[in-house]
């Protein structure tokens, strides 16, 4: 907007002020209200409104929406829209089932206004991937917003809250090398009967001694596993081109 332009609201106020001053000036000159209306080419009601207003500000009327038969049912439509029901046909049928005196066009217009104002809509729920990431990361790695959303999610689902507790305990076993407490953790998870997590815990029993050693001792087979992966990579690169002797030389040279 150019500098100095009062805008639509300011220009409207200026017109109201000028019209109010003109009508009252003509009244002081002795003209009747009907004569003023004929002289200015205005409607009599318009002249009466300016004439009866002691100040020009009193002529400003708020653009209030007209009452509608849909008004008593708008909170219901807004609640259903928030819940995820956005079908105009379904919402119209639900209102008709309650003997609401509304038309399809009324419902469609109000739903269109709700769709046009996404800022008023609640934020979408977090995805499964997001919640999984929050549960498996260290609590200190989460932002304040993530922690608040996760707390709200866990408060809504007791099973997920129980699973989150088991995941935190397993993370502490990994970080603090408390492998000796692993059997107690497996029993607790088995008792909770949570899908997925219970299966993971029971599979650890197949080689419990090795898992316990890995979560207790300081030694690691990571270096050996890395060397094996490197050998496999070289072997795939040489597949069909040379025999074992060349593979052996490639490994020793690297």
Q: Are residues 204 and 234 in the same domain?
A: no
Residue 86 placed within a domain: yes
Tokens of residue 191, six digits: 């008792």
Q: Are residues 141 and 179 in the same domain?
A: yes
Q: Are residues 132 and 116 in the same domain?
A: no
Residue 66 placed within a domain: no
Residue 195 placed within a domain: yes
Residue 65 placed within a domain: no
The conformation of residue 126, written as its DSSP 8-state character, comes to P
Q: Are residues 44 and 92 in the same domain?
A: no
Residue 64 placed within a domain: no
* Mean pLDDT, contiguous 10-residue spans, the chain (254 residues): 54 82 90 88 87 81 70 90 88 91 91 75 79 89 89 90 93 89 92 88 90 86 84 79 76 75
> What is the predicted pLDDT for the residue at 105?
92
> What is the predicted pLDDT for the residue at 242?
67
Distances (CA, A) of 123 to 74, 119, 146, 152, 203: 21, 9, 13, 13, 38
> What is the predicted pLDDT for the residue at 57?
78
Query: Which segments of the chain does DSSP mark as H helices, in order?
Result: 7-28, 33-40, 44-52, 74-82, 88-97, 104-115, 128-136, 144-156, 158-176, 182-192, 197-203, 208-214, 222-237, 244-253
> What is the predicted pLDDT for the residue at 1?
44
Q: Are residues 167 and 116 in the same domain?
A: no
What is the span of the domain harbouring residue 158?
128-214
Residue 206 placed within a domain: yes
Q: What are phi and psi of 207, to 5 degrees?
A: -140, 60
Check: CB of residue 176 under 8 Å from CB of residue 149: no
Q: Are residues 134 and 206 in the same domain?
A: yes
Q: Are residues 32 and 80 in the same domain?
A: no
Q: Number of folded domains in the chain?
A: 4
């Amino acid at each position: 907007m150019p500098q100095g332009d009062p805008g639509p609201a300011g220009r409207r106020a200026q017109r109201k002020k000028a019209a109010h001053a003109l009508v009252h000036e003509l009244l002081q000159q002795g003209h009747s209200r009907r004569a003023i209306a004929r002289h200015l080419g205005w409607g009599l009601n318009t002249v009466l409104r300016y004439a009866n207003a002691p100040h020009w500000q009193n002529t400003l009327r708020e653009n209030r929406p007209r009452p509608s038969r849909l008004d008593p049912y708008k909170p219901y439509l807004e609640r259903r829209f928030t819940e995820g029901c956005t079908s105009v046909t379904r919402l119209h049928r639900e209102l008709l089932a309650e003997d609401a005196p509304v038309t399809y066009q009324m419902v469609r217009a109000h739903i269109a206004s709700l769709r046009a104002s996404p800022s008023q809509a609640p934020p979408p729920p977090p995805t499964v991937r997001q919640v999984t990431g929050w549960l498996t990361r260290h609590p200190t790695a989460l932002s304040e917003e993530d922690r608040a959303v996760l707390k709200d999610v866990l408060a809504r689902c007791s099973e997920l809250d129980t699973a989150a507790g088991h995941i935190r305990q397993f993370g502490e076993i990994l970080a603090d090398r408390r492998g000796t407490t692993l059997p107690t953790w497996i029993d607790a998870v088995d008792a909770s009967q949570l899908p997925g997590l219970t299966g993971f815990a029971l599979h650890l029993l197949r080689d419990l001694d090795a898992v316990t050693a890995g979560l207790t001792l300081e030694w690691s087979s990571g270096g050996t596993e890395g060397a094996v992966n490197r050998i496999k990579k070289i072997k795939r690169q040489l597949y069909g081109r040379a025999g074992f002797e060349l593979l052996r030389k490639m490994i020793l040279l690297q």
